[in-house]
Structure 1
Amino acid sequence: MARRIPPMNPLRVFEVVARTQNLTLAAQELHVSQSAVSRQIAVIEGYLGVELFRRERHGVTLTRAGQAYAEEVVPAFDAIANATARLLRSTSQGALRVRTYTTFAAKWLIPRLPDFQAQYPSIEVRIDNAIPDVDFDRDPADVAIQYGDGRWPRVSAELLFHDEIEPVCTPAYLRAHRAPRGKLEPLLRHRLLVSHYRRTDWDDWLAFSGLSEIVQGTERMSFGSSVLTWQAALDGLGIAIGQTAMLKAEFDDGRLVRPFARPLTRDKGHYLVRPTVQRESRKVAMFRDWLLETVAREKADALEP
């Protein structure tokens, strides 16, 4: 049997009048006129078929039936209000929870976080590292940064930058393994360093560059993450595929070089991901704006001669 629940707007008006015992105060709390309050009371009394208030010259008072009803309805609205407050506090207060990959966190986000903290010292940032795509209903995250084509269900995705890849190695490795007169193809005949989660990067770049045949029989050494793969390149173990945006510091200080200078830009990229339905808290808005401004500034700086 279906439960009978009165129309919610008249019920809400009854709760406020019963709690305040005053039509004027109830109208002020509800931001409506006193006559509108009276009409809603008449609606719920008509629905229930019970007189809930006595109309007197100096206002209204609860009938015995109205008092009994109010003793259960008012606490129910209190419970709803408290539950709503707790829910909103959990999403708008506390640390900003950012979910992303270890590589993005270590090589892009964390080096730039001091700038965010300088601008917004009151916002604590907590970074959670995970590989699977975010599920905001399951995962404790306010925002996520993830790799893909930007088409994920039930989320809003904003592109930060496309994935750009090309081989990288140390200057010493380049000097030791390139052929006389600067020919670079011999670099590909020694050892290719491969990231487990980006296993196709080498083959994609080689096909793009028309160099696939050169690596037939070349040794490949695999690592559990891109961070470890690039560390192996820094230690001179071989030549790796670099993600351009992640290795800015290494390029700037000369620890890694891009000998072929032939980047492959993919359709996929890194996206800022938020729930489609989200009460936009200040901390999320500040982080989003800072992130997009940082990306835009670095793109502009890269275009300068």
Structure 2
Amino acid sequence: MPQIPPLKALWAFDALGRAGSVALAAAELGVTPGAISQQVTRLGELLAVQLVARSGRGLVLTELGRLYHAEIRRGFAALEGAQDVLDRAREDAAIRLSCLTSVLMKWIGPRIFDWQSQHPGARLSLTGSDIEPDLIRGEADFRIYYGGRIHPAHHAVLFTDHVVPACAPELIAGHPLRDPADVLAFPLVSIVWNRRFAPGPEWSVWAERIGASAPESALSYSLSGSAIDAAVAGRGFVLAQISFIAEELRSGRLVVPFDIRLPLSEPYYLAWTEAALAKPDARALHRWLLATGRAQGIISAG
């Protein structure tokens, strides 16, 4: 097998060939110009070929030097390409969890840090989207979605959520509520659900539950997270999913004067592929998601 010159000498020669001067090559590699000259001279001696010639106060590649540089440049390019492949493989090793946007904002987002603290080496990529990814084609590893859509990947029920009227405590300060119907006298914030989902819970249904009629909503949002934020800001009552307002209730930013709940018409599901479970820590995340979903279902049902 032919003897390969030392890597340091090859690096120095490659840098000189690309930079065109000893000073620039030295700056690129973080060494002195003398070190570059020494390594290039050593390489020529090992190969028994004159690779460079003096030109003024610098060095230039000879004809043989240019031919040799072109070949080793291809070799270094191949090594750089191999590193790129490895970097991409590492990126692909990240577990990609796709969720409905509000689920990411209000349910998974605040809770995922608990899982990460137990798996500090895990790499996780979270995406919020109302467009269903194709898990079979590798667009995501796990997907949390709503409704009875038959997913081509493996799937399991996470939990069925409930909604409850919630508001900022400042909204009702000085206005004691004696009856659930008193809620309807305040501005009502509505959530307009995506058409592809079953009809979401509406104020009219909640009002009917308590034997009253609901006025028109003062404000409506297409995202549950935005509607909840509006309620926190004191804009009115919102029929909020219990899973989405745990932190707001805990911190006192939202209150529930009357705990009268309506169930969502369908549950949330978790979908995944067998290939996803082969990734590092993916099975642990899978178990945690299912367990967290079961616990949420109990909390939401009251």
TM-score, reference length from structure 1: 0.60
Q: Is the Cα contact below 8 Å between 2:204 and 2:213 reproduced in 1? A: no
Q: Which amino acid aligns with 1:184?
A: P
Q: Is the Cα contact below 8 Å between 1:178 and 1:184 reproduced in 2? A: no
Q: Is the Cα contact below 8 Å between 2:99 and 2:143 reproduced in 1? A: yes
- After superposition, the C-alpha distances for 1:198-236 in whole angstroms (9 at most, x for unaligned) are 67422464265144x5224x4431123111111111111
The one of 277, 280, 296 equivalent to 1:280 is 277
For residues 219 and 296 of structure 1, the distance between their equivalents in structure 2, rounded to whole angstroms, comes to 33
Describe how 1:1-305 pairs up with structure 2 within 5 A: 93-137=92-136, 140-149=139-148, 151-178=149-176, 182-197=178-193, 200-203=200-203, 205-206=205-206, 209-211=209-211, 213-216=212-215, 218-275=216-273, 278=275, 280-281=277-278, 282-296=280-294
Per-residue deviation, 1:270: 1.5
- After superposition, the C-alpha distances for 1:149-172 in whole angstroms (9 at most, x for unaligned) are 3x4141222122102112111222
Corresponding residue of 1:70: none
Aligned pair in 2 of structure 1 residues 240, 302: CA closer, same or farther (>3 Å)?
A: closer
Per-residue deviation, 1:297: 5.0
Aligned residues: 211
For residues 279 and 171 of structure 1, the distance between their equivalents in structure 2, rounded to whole angstroms, comes to 44
Aligned pair in 2 of structure 1 residues 302, 202: CA closer, same or farther (>3 Å)?
A: closer
> Greater CA deviation, 202-211 or 164-173?
202-211
Per-residue deviation, 1:110: 1.6
For residues 287 and 155 of structure 1, the distance between their equivalents in structure 2, rounded to whole angstroms, comes to 17
Aligned pair in 2 of structure 1 residues 236, 141: CA closer, same or farther (>3 Å)?
A: same
Q: Which amino acid aligns with 1:262?
A: I
For residues 101 and 275 of structure 2, the distance between their equivalents in structure 1, rounded to whole angstroms, comes to 25
Per-residue deviation, 1:249: 1.1
Aligned pair in 2 of structure 1 residues 268, 298: CA closer, same or farther (>3 Å)?
A: closer
Q: Is the Cα contact below 8 Å between 2:136 and 2:153 reproduced in 1? A: no
Q: 5+ unaligned residues in a row in structure 2: which ranges?
A: 1-84
3-state SS in 2 of match to 1:261: coil
Identity across the alignment (%): 24
Q: Is the Cα contact below 8 Å between 2:201 and 2:264 reproduced in 1? A: no
**What RMSD in Å do the two structures reach over aligned CA positions?**
3.1
Q: Is the Cα contact below 8 Å between 2:95 and 2:141 reproduced in 1? A: yes
Q: Is the Cα contact below 8 Å between 2:144 and 2:268 reproduced in 1? A: yes
Corresponding residue of 2:23: none
